[in-house]
Amino acid sequence: MTSFASRSAKPVYEISPSALHAFKLGELWHYRHLAMLLAWRHIRARYKQTALGLLWAVIVPVAFTLIFVVFFRLVPAQPAGNLPYIPSAFAGMIMWQLFTRGVSEGATSLTSNASLITKVYFPRIILPLAAVLSAIFDVLISFVLLAGVLVWFQIPLQQQMLLAPLFVLQVVLVVVAFSLWLSAIDGVFRDLRHALPLILQLGMFVSPVAYTTSAIVPQKWTWLYEYNPLVGPLEGFRWSLLQGAPGVSTSAEIKSLAITVVLLLTGLLFFARMERTIVDQV
């Protein structure tokens, strides 16, 4: 006779990601609606119970640009060379806002959704990707104001403006690469969330946000400065919009693309490895 215990036993199914789960683009496409839903939740939570709402997406880069204008007027320096400073700095601030917003929210995307990832299975990589998508939304709002700034300063249309989206995409890839690494690390070491704001603040001063590379960085140190993966796309974005801006440095672009690819591929592998045990960590 079959025992009562054996009759009542039910099969147990374990759903877990494989080691190379991060590379299953088909599965990511299957969960694309979840990524959009989580991105929209990020946006709603960010501006919930705020009086100005979406205007904050514009106020932040405008405020920093005005601070830079006042500072460099007090300090005898030409941070933008021969370019009109306000469009130059504002273009840099928009790209920097994309980077900081995406990295800061992407880095904590796993731990801030601990209650979700411990209850239901979905590709965990969806969470940092959703954070990056919400950051892109803010930048799209700022682009409207940037277009108005270019018109106000009578910046003429030029063919290389068509290349601006490529440099934006390059920054997005840098954000995704950093978010993969940092979100997996944050799941184990919570010190990251305390150190990250300071690191990002320092990063703004070592990136060509408020200045152009050729105007501030000594030429003998340019080769080293270009190892910052944001130098290439930030300078490229500024060059694509402003007539007379320094051309895109080939060496800076090569270094930026190479570092981004390495960070992205290793980040995918590291994230996939940590994803298998991250539920127990958060």
pLDDT for the residue numbered 122: 78
C-alpha distances in Å from residue 223, one per residue of 79, 136, 171, 219, 235: 19, 30, 20, 8, 15
Tens digits of per-residue pLDDT, 136-167? 988 888 999 999 999 999 999 889 999 999 99
More confident residue, 82 or 69: 69
pLDDT at residue number 24? 63
- List, for residues 175-210, the tens digit of each pLDDT value: 999 999 998 888 777 778 788 989 999 999 999 999
Contact between 282 and 112 under an 8 Å Cβ cutoff? The reply is: no
Domain annotation covers residue 9: no
Which of 113, 110, 49, 60 is closest to 90 using CA atoms?
60
- Are the CB atoms for 31 and 126 separated by under 8 Å? yes
pLDDT at residue 4 greater than cutoff 50: no
Model pTM score: 0.86
3-state secondary structure (DSSP) of residue 2: coil
Range of the domain at 55: 27-281
Domain count of the fold of the chain:
1
For CA atoms 78, 83, 87, 88, give the dihedral sign.
Answer: negative
Structure tokens at 151: 């018109």
The count of C-alpha atoms lying within 13 angstroms of the C-alpha of 62, restricted to the half-sphere facing its C-beta, is 13
Q: For residue range 57-66, list pLDDT tens digits in order.
A: 888 889 989 9
Residue 2 lies in a domain: no
Residue 197 resides in a domain: yes
Are residues 183 and 107 in contact, defined by beta-carbon separation less than 8 angstroms? yes
State the DSSP H helix or E strand holding residue 98, giving kind and residue range, or none if neither.
helix 85-107
At 282 the pLDDT is: 61
- The reply to whether 92 falls in a domain is yes
Q: Can you tell me the distance from the alpha carbon of 276 to that of 188, in angstroms, rounded to the nearest whole number?
A: 13
Residue 201 lies in a domain: yes
In this prediction, residues 12-22 reach a mean pLDDT of 50
* Residue 146 located in a structural domain: yes
Handedness of CA 90, 91, 94, 100 (dihedral sign): negative
In a domain, 135, yes or no: yes
pLDDT digits (tens, 9 = 90+) for 227-254: 999 999 999 999 999 988 888 889 999 9
- Tell me the C-alpha distance between 225 and 79, whole Å: 16
User: With contact defined as beta carbons under 8 Å apart, do 210 and 79 qualify?
Assistant: yes
